[in-house]
Amino acid sequence: MADTKQNKRIFSGIQPSGNLTLGNYLGALKNFPLLQNDYECYYCVVDLHTLTVRQDPEALRERSYSLIALYLAAGLDPEKNVLFLQSHVPQHAELSWILGCYTYMGELNRMTQFKDKSSRHADNINGGLYTYPVLMAADILLYQTDAVPIGQDQKQHLELARNIAERFNKIYGDTFVVPEPFIPKTGARVMSLQDPTKKMSKSDDNANNFVLITEDEASIMKKFKRAVTDSGSEIIFDEENKPGISNLINIYASIKGISREDVEKEFAAARYGDFKMAVGTAVCETLAPIKARYEELMKDKQYLESILRKNGEKARTVAGETLKDVYRKVGFIV
Ligand code: TYM
């Protein structure tokens, strides 16, 4: 195994396909800095993945800088973590081709995100959308990753990456570390504020459904005030019968780092309206300093650029070792 690492490794990625939502924050980004002292962490801006849906080139470039700035603003230390762009490391695309030859169409056909995205973009069901989970497997396996911090919606993709790794290891001997998902207890699936039966998503057409990490406070408070609640008046976690309140409990628990039961106790005597305002306030308190740091960082593109260049180099070295091992094993002349 091309595995010269000293510490356990973490890899995760976020697409620069829109402004990040509270869902991206609670499901993924918030957990990234918590790992930086105990693991060797690779956090990637997965720009290749975004082309599965049409992008405006200038906007995509800007959002890639934006996402690196958000990684930093959320507390990731650029000296401790490898923060980089996927397109700066050609090994991702190269390994993806190889792994595609070890992935069955039956497996890709089962991916719920493919089914969901192809129904939303019926005029552009392209090959990339279909093979997207293979590229994601390549992202993870290139770095001999032990754990992948992700939200619930990426669990199926991670299971596929594990299956591909195991299959490859069985044929060629130990080549890849088989990664574990790292899914938070609360905040792993933040739902839409207006329709709590569907996931909060940065590509949603209705802006009232989501809260952005960089949104201003007045607007965040307005959205929580208008958030859909359920019949009854009790603040209890019951996803089936009270999806709206359950979503708000989940958000508050995740933001405060407490359990759902603690939230129920804290608001046992509160009314829906007061609870919604408390959740909005807690969200604003957490996001405001991140937004302020983000705005500062976006003024210094040169600094962001220097991080990308330096880290791209580091990522290419590690990824190159794995790819070389794979090339040798499958029978290429290296
Ligand atoms: P993406 O860019 O859609 O989302 C980034 C991260 O945010 C999480 N997330 C959520 N968590 C809780 N509630 C929500 N409503 C919510 N919406 C999004 C996602 O689970 C994800 O962790 N395929 C990935 C990107 C990717 C990747 C990787 C991730 C590419 N390669 C390798 C990990 C490892 C995606 O589209 O995430």
Percent of the chain with pLDDT over 70: 99
Place of tokens 């507390």: 75
Active-site entry in 30, 199, 223, 276: 199
- Six token digits for residue 200: 């909060």
User: Is there a contact between 138 and 184 (Cβ–Cβ < 8 Å)?
Assistant: no
Interval 149-167 mean pLDDT: 98
Q: Which residues line ligand 1 (CB under 6 A)?
A: 11-15, 23-24, 26-28, 46, 49, 136, 139-140, 148, 150-151, 153-154, 157, 188-190, 199-200
- Report the separation in Å between the CA atom of 84 and the middle of ligand 1, taken as the mean of its atom positions: 16
Mean residue pLDDT across the chain: 96
Decide if pLDDT at 179 tops 80. yes
Q: Is the pLDDT of residue 4 over 70?
A: no
Percent of the chain with pLDDT over 90: 94
| Predicted pLDDT at 39 | 97
Strand ranges across the sheet with 81-85: 81-85, 40-45, 9-14, 147-149, 180-182
Whether 140 and 3 have beta carbons less than 8 Å apart is answered as: no
Could you tell me if residue 319 is left (phi over 0), alpha (psi between -120 and 50 degrees) or otherwise beta?
alpha
Per-residue confidence (pLDDT) for residue 74, from 0 to 100: 98
11: pLDDT confidence band, cut at 50, 70 and 90? very high
Q: How far is the CA of 27 from the centre of ligand 1 (A)?
A: 8
Task: Tell me the three state secondary structure of residue 180.
Answer: strand
Q: Which of 229, 149, 155, 243 is nearest to 191 (CA)?
A: 243
Q: Residue with structure tokens 């070389």?
A: 324
Q: For residue 121, what pLDDT is reported?
A: 86
User: What is the pLDDT averaged over residues 134-140?
Assistant: 98
